[in-house]
Amino acid sequence: MADNHLVIRHPTCSAPKINQAITAYCFGRATESERKAVEAHLLECDVCWQEVQRLEVAIQALRAERGLLRSISASEIATAFGISAKLASPWAGHLWHALASCALYALLYTVAFVAEIAYQFDRYGSAALKIAPLVFGWIFGTSMAGLAIDCKLTRQGSERGLLFSVLVFLLAAVALFVGLCLFLPASPITQATVQAQTAQVAYLKTTCYWLTLAVVFWLTPFHFVVAMQRELQAGRHHLVLRLLTGDKLSVTPRGTIFLRPWVLSLLLVVVVIVALYLHFNLFDHLKPSPYMNLFENLIQTRLILYFTLGVECLAWYYRALNELKRECLAAEMISA
Ligand SMILES: [Zn+2]
């Protein structure tokens, strides 16, 4: 890829020696005489003028993130081409993220399922514990498949990766709900002083929350990163860098949405505050029962799992975006 750029980029510069000084000039490392020569040359050479403009995007990114500057040394450039090369690997090189997030997500469904019947654990407990591993296995397997489908379609250049992964998650949750309705009682189990919902409705409600949040915090960022890997592999690192550095004229590829990590972080904080409020409100209205403690512990575990999933996804997203930027910068430096 880098070789192609070299060939395409300097077809007509009449002063290759000055052209070579452009990178140093842009980074403020040129000597006084080089600087004068480059500035005089820029007035007459379109090739070099375009190159300076191109490098400016890279420089803006470096100024915004000094951490990246330290990590770009000549010896590291060779190893920086990591993230796009992993596109062909299982789950586009994000196997650990896929395993961790799918396991947390599946645990969430499992714990929530047991919580719905916890108030009558003596009656439903032993059956629920037998069904619980099935719930975990079903959600874990379908989620891994959903992410894999996104990777596969995106790798092939399709725009529908995100759509299909969302559909897989949705269908998996619907199928699980239908299956669990055979077991979950259609009457209120949890005893509270406020109007209690039936176990089925309560489970459906929590499922809807998680699906929404999975799409926002998990599937959309995942798809964006995989799509950017594909763009980098196609040699469009300049476009990716423009996008990642917030250039207003840059556009995301079809079928992808670029959610800024700081927006997601803020959103997660808001969601956690609301969830904490709702949980304490629920705990205030519970009627005493021998299993009240079990119920509260399960609900708290559910909240912790949920929060951990959000943090895991965000941490992964930050890291992946930085790796993408690093690769873009390395590519810009190599082709400069
Ligand atoms: Zn030139």
Q: How far is the CA of 237 from the centre of ligand 1 (A)?
A: 22
The pLDDT value recorded for residue 284 is: 83
pLDDT at 268: 94
Contact yes or no for 201/296 (Cβ under 8 A): no
Q: From ligand 1's centre to the CA of 30, what distance in Å?
A: 16
Q: How sure is the predictor about 66, in pLDDT bands with cuts at 50, 70 and 90?
A: low
8-17, 38-47, 105-114, range with the lowest pLDDT:
8-17
Query: What separation in angstroms does the CA of 310 have from each of 100, 195, 296, 319?
Result: 11, 30, 21, 14
What pLDDT is attached to residue 83?
A: 74
Give me ligand 1 centre to Cα 332, in Å. 17
pLDDT at 9: 44
What was the pLDDT predicted at 6?
A: 43
How many A from CA of 157 to the centre of ligand 1? Answer: 36
Q: What is the pLDDT of residue 65?
A: 64
The Cα–Cα gap between 313 and 323 comes to: 15
Q: What is the pLDDT of residue 150?
A: 96
* Confidence at 317, pLDDT banded by 50, 70, 90: very high
Question: What pLDDT is stored for residue 77 in this prediction?
Answer: 47
Distance from Cα 37 to the centre of ligand 1, integer Å: 11
Q: How far is the CA of 212 from the centre of ligand 1 (A)?
A: 52
Mean pLDDT taken over the chain: 84
Distance 53 CA to ligand 1 centre (A): 13
Structure tokens at 109: 């469904």
User: Which tens digits make up the pLDDT trace of 248-305?
Assistant: 777 788 888 899 999 999 999 999 999 889 888 888 888 888 888 898 899 999 999 9
Q: What is the mean pLDDT of residues 182-204?
A: 80
How large a percentage of the chain has pLDDT more than 70?
88
Confidence of residue 223 (pLDDT cuts 50, 70, 90): very high
H helix intervals, 86-160: 95-117, 121-155
Give the number of other Cβ atoms within 10 Å of residue 320's Cβ: 23
Does residue 198 sit in helix, strand or coil? strand
The answer to whether residues 68 and 322 touch, using CB atoms and an 8 Å cutoff, is yes
Query: 47 CA distance to ligand 1 centroid (A)?
Result: 5
d(CA 335, ligand 1 centre) in Å = 15
Give the pLDDT score at 5: 44
DSSP class of 28 = T
49 CA from centroid of ligand 1 (Å) = 7
Per-residue confidence band for 76, with pLDDT thresholds at 50, 70 and 90: very low
| For residue 201, pLDDT beyond 50 | yes
Question: What's the 333 CA to ligand 1 centre distance in angstroms?
Answer: 17
Q: How far is the CA of 117 from the centre of ligand 1 (A)?
A: 74
- Please determine, for residue 4, whether its predicted confidence score (pLDDT) is greater than 50: no
Distance 41 CA to ligand 1 centre (A): 6
Measured in Å, residue 2 CA sits from the centre of ligand 1 at 19
**Distance in Å, CA 9 to ligand 1 centroid:** 11
With 60 as the cut, is the pLDDT of residue 73 above it?
Answer: no
As a whole number of Å, the end-to-end CA separation of the chain is 13
Average pLDDT over residues 325-336: 72
Mean pLDDT value of segment 223-242:
87
Q: What pLDDT does 36 receive?
A: 87
Would you state the structure tokens that stand for residue 197, as one six-digit string?
């919902």
DSSP state of 285: T
Residue 111 has pLDDT above 90, yes or no: yes
Provide the 10 A C-beta neighbour count for residue 148: 16
pLDDT at 251: 78
- The answer, yes or no, to whether residue 157 has pLDDT greater than 50, is yes
Ligand 1 centroid from CA 27, angstroms: 17
What is the whole-number distance in angstroms between the Cα of residue 240 and the centre of ligand 1?
25
User: 193 or 308: which carries more pLDDT confidence?
Assistant: 308
How many angstroms does the Cα of residue 220 sit away from the middle of ligand 1? 42
